[in-house]
Chains A and B, each alone.
Chain A
Amino acid sequence: QVQLQESGPGLVKPSETLSLTCTVSGGSIRSNYWTWLRQPLGKGLEWIAYIYYSRSTNYNPSLKSRVSTSIDTSKNHLSLKLTYVTAADTAVYYCARGRSTIGAPDAFDIWGQGTMVTVSS
């Protein structure tokens, strides 16, 4: 059974870069779409980025200038980088597996437990 586990620093200073990793176990990262989402405490979900194992990516236009994601097939994990963070980037960050029939994930069927990231000096 595929499981996802996010990891990374829980505290990032303003203007610095947030870096997270999502390790995929129980299955290969070479298939499916893999997605990053976030959720500020007490608020709704926001899609950040998705990547397919062939390296195609797509980013939320509101974050596109600051975000990048990549896959390391040798480690079976994906990574997220978000630059120049502010307090508005404080949230629980999730990685999720996307199911797709449209050339992009249309639903997210397996989620990691999430990791809380706080942006503060």
Chain B
Amino acid sequence: QSALTQPASVSGSPGQSITISCTGTSSDVGGYNYVSWYQQHPGKAPKLMIYEVSNRPSGISNRFSGSKSGNTASLTISGLQAEDEADYYCSSYTSSSTYMLFGGGTKLTVL
């Protein structure tokens, strides 16, 4: 069982928006603004999409946005495109000795 909780799957049609949640505790997601999101296509390495809750690295489309409320962080993808179909993982800094936690991943299907 992963330390951060994500839905196993979400789906949406091209052009729609979807949101993936990532729930932790006050010791991680809720306590720090160090939540990141990664996109992973099959057989490929993860790719950083969002860092520090809502910041996009250079080159990442503004269709990807991040937010946080309490112990839950969210990744929203607007204007869904076929190439967005992938697995998405969240991570968070934690005050525990583990230092960083990951979610179990969410498979996004573009219908």
B65 at the interface (CB under 8 A from A): no
Q: Are B89 and A44 in contact (CB under 8 A)?
A: yes
Q: How many A-B residue pairs have CB under 8 A?
A: 58
B93 at the interface (CB under 8 A from A): yes
B91 at the interface (CB under 8 A from A): yes
Q: Are A106 and B45 in contact (CB under 8 A)?
A: no
Q: Are A114 and B105 in contact (CB under 8 A)?
A: no
Closest beta carbon of chain B to A25's beta carbon, Å: 16
Instruction: Give the complex CA separation of A44 and B90 in angstroms.
Output: 10
Instruction: Beyond the given A45-B102, A94-B45, A112-B45, please list 19 additional residue pairs across the A-B interface where CB-CB is below 8 A.
Output: A44-B102, A44-B105, A47-B99, A47-B100, A61-B97, A62-B98, A101-B52, A102-B34, A104-B99, A104-B100, A106-B34, A107-B51, A108-B36, A108-B38, A108-B46, A111-B45, A111-B46, A113-B44, A114-B45
A interface residues (Cβ-Cβ under 8 A, vs B): 44-47, 58, 60-62, 94, 99, 101-102, 104-109, 111-114
